[in-house]
Chains A and B, each alone.
Chain A
Amino acid sequence: MSFDHIMSVTIGGLTVGMIYALIALGYTMVYGVLKFINFAHGEVFTVGGYVAAFSLLAMGIDASTPWLKVAGAIALALVAAVTVPMVLGFLIERIAYRPLRGRSRIIPLLSAIGVSIVLQQLIIIIFGPKPVTIPTLALSSASVSFLGVNVRVLALVIIAVSAALMIGLTYLVKSTRIGKAMRATSQDMEAAEMMGIDTNRTIAFTFLVGSALAGIGGLLVVMYYGSLKYDAGFLYGLKAFTAAVLGGIGNIPGAVVGAIVLGMTETYGVSVDLGFLAWFVVAGLVLGLYVQMVRVPNRRLAHIAADRRTPEYERSIMNVYRLTPYHGIKTLLAERTDALLSVSAVDAVRLMAGNIFLAVLAAVMFINSSARIDTRWQPVIAFVVLMVILMFRPSGILGEAVTEKV
C-alpha cells in the first residue's frame, strides 16, 4: 500500500464527507432551532442540483466554451441553485410545517416525509425519470498535483466551500443579531416571543439558510459527478442526516465532523489494508483503557461520601476497574451493600469486554495486515462504526448543543 494510495483515498473520503457536510448543516440548523428533523431536506438538495444542471445546459456550456464564459455560467447557475431551493424551503416551512407547530413531534415529522415524497414525484414529473447529465467542463475535470498525487480542483473547492460555510454559519449563529434570535427561539420559543423576537421570521430564516446550503451542495455534486438522478436526495439525505446525528445533532461543527467521519469510514473501510486500519482500533483501545482505568473509577469515587473514602476503599474500587478479575470480584463480594455493587460491576464487565474485543480485533487485523475488506461490506462498515459511536456517545461525537443552543 503506497503513500499515493493512502493520499488518494483520504482525499476521496474527505470530498465525499464534505458533500455530506453541506447537506448535514441544513439538517442540523433546523433541528437546532425547532427540534425537528426536516426529512424533505434531501429533496431540496436534489432540486438545487437539477436547477443548477438545467441552468448550465440552458446556457449551452460544453468542454470548448471559453473559461470566462464558463465562470459566468457557473455563477448564474449558483444564483439559480441557491434561489430556487430557498423559495422552496420557505414555502415548505410555511405550508407544511408552520400550521403544525406545537403539535406532537411525530406530526410534523410525517408531514416532512410526505413533502419529501411529493417533491421527488414533482422532480420526475417536471424533469423526467432519466438522470440529468452535464457535459464535462475543463474546470470540473482539472486537477493539480498535491504531494505527488493528482487531486481534482473541484474536490479542493468542495472541501474549502464546506469548511468556509461551517465557519460562516458558526459566526452567524454565535455572533449576529439573527443568530441570537435563533438561539433564543431554540431555548424557549414562548419566552423568546415575550422578549419581542419574531419566532416565525427566525424559523423561516433558518429554513432559507439551510435550503441555500443544500442548493450549493446540489450544484457542487452535479459539477463533481456530472449527473444527478431524481432519487439522489434520499440516499444523500439519509447519509447527511446520519452525519448530523453522528456529530451531535444541532451542533454545527459536529455536522461537519460527523460527515467527515462517515465519508472517511465509507472510503477507508474498504480501500486500505487491515494493518493500517488496525491503528484506528488501537486508538479506540487506548481511549477505552483510559475510560476504564481513570475516568470511570474517578467519577465513581467522586460520588462516594468523603468519610468513607479510605485509601483501602479507593484501591478496591480501582481494582474493580483495573481488571484484576480476582481482586475485583472479591472486592465486590465483600462490599455487597455498597452503591458500587450492581451498576458499577456491570459497567466494569462491559468496559472490560469492550476493551478485550478491541484488543482481539486489533490483533486479528495486524495478523492479516495485508488483507483488505471486500467492497461488498462498504455500507455495513459505516453502519457498524456509527452504531458503536452512538452506543458509547448517544449524543454524538461533539455532543448535542446543550447550553448554547443553536
Chain B
Amino acid sequence: MVQKRTGRVLALALAALLALSMFGLSGCAADDGGDGGEGNGATGEVETIKIGVQTALTGPLPDYGLAAKNGVELALEDFGTFEMNGTTYEVELVVLDDKAEPTEAAVVAQTMVDEGVVGVIGSLTTGATLSAIPIYYENRIPQISGSVTGPKANETGADTFFRTCWNDAIQGEALGVWAMELGAKKVVLMDDNGAYAVGLADVAEDTLKAGGVETLRQNCQSGDKDFSAQVANIKEFGPDAIIFTGYHPEAGLMRKQMVEAGLGDVIFMGGDGIRSEELVAQTGGNANAEGIYATFGGFPEEQQPGYAAFAAKYKEKYGEEVGPYAQNNYDAFGALIAAIKAAGSTDTEEIIAALQTLSYEGVTGTFGFATESDGAVAKGDIVVEGLTPSNVPRYVLKDGAWVSAQ
C-alpha cells in the first residue's frame, strides 16, 4: 500500500516549496514631498531640449515607477517651458523603462546618451542606478534620482550623480547618535534581511562602534511571528537599547515579545519603517508601545513646505493620492531646470557645475547637493536646509500617537 517512493517524492516537493518560500519580498520605505516654481516667458526663437526619465514602469515596482513618472510629468507642466538668454526652451521628455534591472539600466542609459539628453531623472532603484552611473559619468550627463535611498548608490563618487531623496545612511547614523545620547552602552541592532533594513542597521552599527558602544546584531525574516531565539539572545546580551530597522509588523511583535520576556525597560528605536500608528496595536496596546522612538528620513510629509499644494495638484491631475517619491521626482526635474537656468547654457558640463552649487526651493524643502562625501552624507546627496544627520526628525510614541521628540 505504501510505496517507498512517497517519502522521496514528498522530500522533493518539500524542497521545491521551501525554495519557493525563500523568494521573500523586501521593500523600501517612502517619504517626502515638495513644490517650487517659476514663470515662463516667450520671445524670439523656440528651441527643444531633451530630458530623460529613466524609471521602471514594469518589473517588481511598477507603482513606484509610475509615481516617479507622474511626478516628472507634473513638473514638466510647471517648468517645462522656460526662457533663457532670449530663447524659449521647451523640454521634451524621453521616458524609458529599465525594469529595475541592472543590465536593462545600462542599455537604457546608453540609449539616453544616444538620444542626446541634457540630463536624466532616475533611475528608480539602487541596483539599476549602480550600472547606469558609469555610463552617464563617462558621457558627462547629469543624473538626478528622486527615489534611490540605498547608501551604496554612489560608492564610486561620480560627480554626475545627484539625488533628491534621503540617503538611508543618514537615518542610520542618526539612530546610532540618538541611542548614544540616551546613554546606551550596549545596543542590539536588528534587521529583517531586506536591503533597506540591512543598510540602515549597518550604518547605525558602524556609528555605535565608532562611539565605543558594544553591539549585537540580530535578524529576522519579513513575515516572522516568533522571535523567541532572538529575544533569548538579546536577554543574555543585556542591552540598554535595541534599534529595529525593519517595518512595523515585525517591530510590533518583537516589542511585545521583549516586554513579555521582561525586557520592557530596553529602549526600543527604529527608522521610518516603524513610524506608523499601526505599530501600537501590533505591540499589544499603549502599555507596550509607550515610549518607542523613531526617526524619519527627511522632513515627513506634513512638514514639507510645499507638500499640501503638490498633493492637491497631483490629485487633480491623476485622481489619486501622491505615489511614493513622486514629490522627490518633481523636485528632481525642477532642480535640473533651475540648474540649466543658473548655468545659462544647455552644455551638460556647465549644468553639472551649476547643480553642485545650486540652492533650490522645492516641495520637500530648500535644498542643495553635497559636493563631497562626509560621514553618512555621500557626494551628490540632497542637503536640506535646517536638516543635518544630528538633526533628523525624531519621534516618540505617546498615548498611541507619534509626537516630536526633538
A residues lining the B interface (CB < 8 Å)? 1-2, 5, 8-9, 11-13, 15-16, 35, 37, 62-63, 130-131, 133, 135-136, 141, 143, 150, 152, 187-188, 221, 225-227, 229, 231-232, 234-235, 238, 241-242, 245, 249, 266-271, 372, 374-376, 378-379, 383, 386-387, 390-391, 394-396, 400, 402, 405
Contact = CB atoms under 8 A, between A and B. Distances in A.
How many chain B residues sit at the interface, stated as a range, is 35 or more
B63 interface: no
Contact of A235 (B2, B21, B262): B21
A400 B5 CA distance: 11
B221 interface: yes
B97 to A, nearest CB: 28
A235 to B, nearest CB: 6
Given A374-B217, A394-B4, A136 B287 contact: yes
Contacts of A35: 6
Contacts of B21: 234-235, 238
Given A152-B260, A271-B230, A1 B236 contact: yes
Contact of A271 (B229, B260, B287): B229
B150 interface: no
A271 B249 contact: no
A315 to B, nearest CB: 32
Report the 7 A-B pairs with minimum CB-CB distance, sorted nearest first: A12-B228, A394-B7, A136-B284, A133-B281, A271-B229, A395-B7, A390-B11
A13 B227 CA distance: 10
Nearest to B278: A130
25 contacts: A5-B236, A8-B232, A9-B232, A12-B232, A16-B226, A63-B287, A131-B249, A136-B288, A150-B262, A226-B253, A229-B223, A241-B17, A242-B18, A266-B229, A375-B217, A375-B230, A386-B18, A390-B11, A391-B11, A394-B8, A394-B11, A395-B4, A395-B6, A400-B7, A402-B1
B261 interface: yes
B256 A376 contact: no
Nearest to B2: A402
Interface of B: 1-2, 4, 6-8, 10-11, 13-15, 17-18, 21-22, 193, 217-221, 223, 225-226, 228-233, 235-236, 249, 252-253, 256, 260-262, 278, 281-282, 284-285, 287-288
A250 to B, nearest CB: 8
Nearest to B7: A394
Nearest to B1: A187
Given A9-B232, A131-B249, A271-B230, 12 more contacts: A5-B236, A8-B261, A63-B287, A143-B260, A221-B225, A238-B18, A270-B229, A271-B229, A378-B221, A387-B15, A395-B4, A395-B6
A375 B218 contact: yes
A131 B256 CA distance: 15
Contacts of B226: 12, 15-16, 225
Contact of A2 (B230, B236, B287): B236
Contact of B233 (A37, A135, A221, A372): A372
Contacts of B282: 131, 133, 226-227
Contacts of B288: 136
A5 B249 contact: no
Contacts of A1: 236
A226 B235 contact: no
**Which residue of B14, B252, B262 has the most chain A CB atoms within 10 A of its CB atom?**
B14
A40 B235 CA distance: 38
Contact of A226 (B232, B278, B284): B284
A245 B285 contact: no
Of listed A131, A226, A268, A391, residue having the most chain B CB within 10 A: A226
B6 A227 contact: no
B400 to A, nearest CB: 12
Contacts of A266: 229
A135 B22 contact: no
B219 A374 contact: yes
B217 to A, nearest CB: 7
Contacts of B261: 8, 150
Contact of B232 (A5, A378, A387, A396): A5
A165 B321 CA distance: 50
B22 A379 contact: yes
A271 B232 contact: yes
Contacts of B249: 131, 227, 229
A271 B6 CA distance: 34
A267 B228 contact: yes
B253 A16 contact: no
A374 B4 CA distance: 37
B204 to A, nearest CB: 17
Contact of B229 (A9, A221, A234, A390): A9
A367 B329 CA distance: 54
Contacts of A131: 249, 282
Contacts of A2: 236
Contact of A396 (B7, B193, B217, B284): B7
A35 B220 CA distance: 35
A8 B14 contact: no
Nearest to A7: B232
Nearest to B288: A136
A143 B262 CA distance: 10
**Of B2, B230, B235, B252, most A-chain CB atoms within 10 Å:** B2
A239 to B, nearest CB: 9
A379 B224 CA distance: 11
A383 B14 CA distance: 10
Given A12-B226, A141-B260, A150-B261, A376 B193 contact: yes
B228 A225 contact: no
B229 A376 contact: no
Contacts of A221: 225
Q: Which of A5, A227, A232, A395 has the largest count of B CB atoms less than 10 A from its CB?
A: A227
A225 B253 contact: yes
B236 A378 contact: no
A188 B232 CA distance: 49
Contacts of B11: 245, 387, 390-391, 394
Nearest to B227: A12
Contacts of B223: 229, 231, 235
A245 B8 CA distance: 10
A170 to B, nearest CB: 19
Contacts of B17: 238, 241
A12 B261 CA distance: 11
Pick the most buried of A1, A133, A386, A390: most chain B CB atoms within 10 A of its CB.
A133
B14 A386 contact: yes
Nearest to A135: B285
B221 A379 contact: yes
